[in-house]
A = this chain, B = another copy of it.
Amino acid sequence: MPQPDHISKLGVPDPAGLDEDLRAIWAKCVEKLGFVPNVFSAYSLKPQRLRHFMAMYNDIMRAESGLSKLEREMVAVVVSSANRCYYCLVAHGAAVRELSGDPELGEMMALNYRVARLDDRQRAMLDYAWKLTTVPYLVDDADRDGLRAVGLTEGDVFDLSETVAFFNLSNRMASATDMMPNREYHRSTRA
């Protein structure tokens, strides 16, 4: 059986019927990436929700921050690994490969980040991401102090935490809709 046969189990509206602002984004995606990410298609079932999701996503992943874009993608993948979210592991695993130029780093983040060779700061961020994802009620002052000890500012801790929090949202939207990633992600930066 060829894999997969759907984008979202809740269905995807015809993009031709979307509002102009969304159609413009679709066009821009095709121009830049060659395809419209399936998360946008799946979310377009509720156009206003998609707008909020994209606004939040773009700000968390692309705005200025003490965390590099690669680090934010690494956090995204580690959160998605804890939640075993297929869509996000595929799409953001590709992003880690692309931004780092290191195909193995993407695999390590997805499969078990603890095997990766990382500096203390990155390791502390990923341990925190795992803990805030799996046992959020156990996060305490010692965890925040540990992040400060490797150099994170209060603003960095906020950014890191919101990245973790955001992927705990998006992982659940992907699982809820059985969202399938675009095939293009699988091929990128493999060697």
**Which residues of chain A have a CB within 8 Å of any CB of chain B?**
1-5, 9-11, 45-46, 48-49, 52-53, 55-56, 59-60, 63, 81, 83-86, 89-90, 102-105, 107-108, 110-112, 114-119, 132-133, 136-141, 144, 154-155, 157-159, 161-162, 164-166, 168-173, 175-178, 180, 183, 186-187, 190-191
Write 6 A-B pairs (CB below 8 A) sorted by A numbering. A10-B158, A46-B158, A48-B63, A90-B107, A115-B180, A165-B168
Partner of A164, one of B49, B154, B176, B191: B176
Residue in A119, A169, A190 with the greatest tally of chain B CB atoms within 10 Å: A169
Dominant SS among interface residues on chain A: helix
Contact indicator B59/A49 (Cβ below 8 Å): yes
Q: How many copies does the complex hold?
A: 6
Residue of B nearest to A11 (CB): B154
Partner of A105 from B3, B59, B173 at Cβ < 8 Å: B3
